[in-house]
C-alpha cells in the first residue's frame, strides 16, 4: 500500500515518491504520501503526514503498538518523528542508498548530526540560556504537564 501510494503520488504529479501507512491491530489508521512540493512544507514527508493523520484519528500524540510501512527507509527527520511517536516497528521498501541514487541523498544530514553544533554548516549559537531555562522550570512544576 505504501509503495502504491508513492508511485501514485509521482504519476499524478502530487509529490515525491514516498508513501507511508500506519497500522495497529490490523487496522489501517493512516495512509499518506509525500506532499512537500504541493504544500510548500519541507516537513510534509509521507511518514510525518501519516503520523499526523494517525494521531488525529486516535486523538493521541503517541502511536504505541503501531507498525509503520514505508516505501523507503525513513530519513533522519522521519526516523526521529517515528521514535517520538512511539511506533513499534518500521518496515521499509527502498533503502537510503536507493533514495540517494534517485536524487534524495540524506547522508549530509547524518554527517551534520554527528558534529557539535558549532561545527555544523548551518550556524547555531546558544543565547539567552538564563532566560530560556524558565520554560523548563515552568514545565517541571506545571500541574497541567503531560509527560511524553
Looking at the DSSP bridge assignments, the partners of residue 32 are 20
Enumerate residues 6+ apart whose C-beta is below 8 A from 106.
75, 76, 96, 99, 100
**Rounded distance between C-alpha atoms, residue 141 and residue 45, angstroms:** 35
**Rounded distance between C-alpha atoms, residue 22 and residue 28, angstroms:** 6
Secondary structure, 3-state, 58-73 = HCCCCCCCCEEEEEEC
User: Is 47 designated active site?
Assistant: yes
Provide the sign of the torsion angle of the four alpha carbons 21, 26, 27, 29, taken in this order: negative
Active-site annotation holder among 47, 101, 125, 130: 47
The residues carrying an active-site annotation are 47
Amino acid at each position: 500500500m505504501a509503495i502504491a501510494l508513492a508511485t501514485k503520488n509521482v504519476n499524478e504529479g502530487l509529490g515525491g515518491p514516498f508513501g507511508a501507512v500506519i497500522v495497529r491491530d490490523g487496522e489501517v489508521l493512516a495512509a499518506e504520501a509525500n506532499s512537500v512540493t504541493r504544500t510548500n512544507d519541507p516537513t510534509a514527508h509521507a511518514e510525518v503526514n501519516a503520523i499526523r493523520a494517525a494521531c488525529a484519528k486516535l486523538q493521541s500524540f503517541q502511536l504505541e503498538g503501531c507498525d509503520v510501512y514505508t516505501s523507503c527507509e525513513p530519513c533522519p527527520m522521519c526516523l526521529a518523528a517515528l521514535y517520538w511517536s512511539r511506533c513499534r516497528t518500521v518496515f521499509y521498501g527502498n533503502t537510503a542508498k536507493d533514495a540517494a541514487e534517485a536524487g534524495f541523498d540524506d547522508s549530509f544530514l547524518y554527517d551534520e548530526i554527528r558534529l557539535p553544533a558549532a561545527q555544523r554548516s548551518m550556524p547555531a549559537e546558544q543565547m539567552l540560556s538564563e532566560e530560556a531555562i524558565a520554560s523548563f522550570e515552568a514545565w517541571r512544576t506545571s500541574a497541567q504537564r503531560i509527560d511524553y
